[in-house]
Amino acid sequence: MPAHFAPPHAAYVKDKADRFELDWDFDNKRGR
Amino acid sequence: MPTFPNAKYVMSRTDHDHWAALAKKPDTEVYQSTPTTIPYCPSSRPRRAEFVTGEHGMCGCLTLKPAPGHTPGQIRVDLDSRGKRAIFAGDALHNPVQVPLWKWNSRFCEDLDLARRSRHTLLADCVEQGRRC
């Protein structure tokens, strides 16, 4: 997403029925 | 003067042609013709511009992929580096709220249904391929 709207931390995405959900992984448990 | 005078600008052929044609029409709004007149416009520096269509790999770790809808030639950039994966969504995804509400478009999306489909594909790829966005 454009930098002026983007949060400072990229996120993984999880499937949630017919939607999606952000998985922020703030502690970087899944690695940078 | 281009923003980065030594850079090579890799961009969508579809988008360039679309905006260039629009800029020639007399009733075009200023904001619609701006992409072809700004300093880094490839038209002003043809030797520094590379136009691409479809999927396009570069630098060994980046893949440009079509994500049309917001603009006809909108592209996203997939990164694959050292086992890590991400997608730079560009204007296919404007705001985090469009992740759960992926059918929501920005006011400026040119093709509303196509923008939704591209956004869904992008998010589904994030899920299936373990990519960050």
Residue in A20, A29, A1, A14 with CA at minimum distance from that of residue B74: A1
Chain B residues with beta carbon closer than 8 angstroms to that of A14: 127
pTM of the model: 0.84
Residue B15 lies in a domain: yes
* Per-residue confidence (pLDDT) for residue B52, from 0 to 100: 95
Count of domains for chain B:
1
Q: CATH no. for residue B86?
A: 3.60.15.10
Residue B45 lies in a domain: yes
Residue B3 lies in a domain: no
Chain A residues with beta carbon closer than 8 angstroms to that of B100: 16, 19-22
Query: What percent of chain B is modeled with pLDDT above 90?
Result: 59
Q: Which domain holds residue B110?
A: 9-129
* Per-residue confidence (pLDDT) for residue B62, from 0 to 100: 97
User: Reduced to 3 states, what is the DSSP secondary structure of residue B58?
Assistant: strand
Residue B73 lies in a domain: yes
Side-chain-side CA neighbours of B97 within 13 Å: the count stands at 4
Q: Mind listing the pLDDT tens digit for each residue in B76-125?
A: 999 999 999 999 999 999 888 999 999 999 988 999 999 999 999 999 99
Residue B84 lies in a domain: yes
Residue B58 lies in a domain: yes
Residue B68 lies in a domain: yes
Query: Across the A/B interface, how many CB contacts are shorter than 8 Å?
Result: 53
Q: DSSP readout, B10-50?
A: EEEHHHHHHHHHHHTSTT--HHHHGGGTSTT-GGG-GGGEE
Residue B63 lies in a domain: yes
